[in-house]
Amino acid sequence: MENVIAAILFAVLVGAGSLGVTSLGMFAFHRNEDRDAQQRERLEYAFFGIFGVVVMLMMWYAL
């Protein structure tokens, strides 16, 4: 029970990292027919991807 905090931090690290990398992949490869919708979706994917990677790096530093 002494490493519960480390286990929780590791779980957040893995979750945020996988969602961040997946969102960055969707930013790079997702195409939509509507140009405005494509730009809006790419902005969302980039934001969530960068945010996920930043959270992952913060959790890595916290460990």
Number of domains in the chain: 1
The whole-model pTM stands at: 0.82
Residues 6+ away with beta carbon under 8 Å from 28: none
Q: Residue 52: which pLDDT band, with cuts at 50, 70 and 90?
A: very high
Report residue 19 CA to chain centroid gap.
Answer: 4
Task: Say how many C-beta atoms besides its own lie within 10 A of residue 59's C-beta.
Answer: 19
Give the mean model confidence (pLDDT) for residues 31-47.
89
52 contacts 16 by C-beta, under 8 angstroms: yes
Dump pLDDT digits (tens) for 11-27: 999 999 999 999 999 99
> Which residues constitute the domain of residue 24?
4-62
Evaluate if residue 1 carries a pLDDT over 80. Answer: no
Nearest to 53 by CA among 22, 29, 8: 22
Q: Tell me what pLDDT residue 61 has.
A: 94
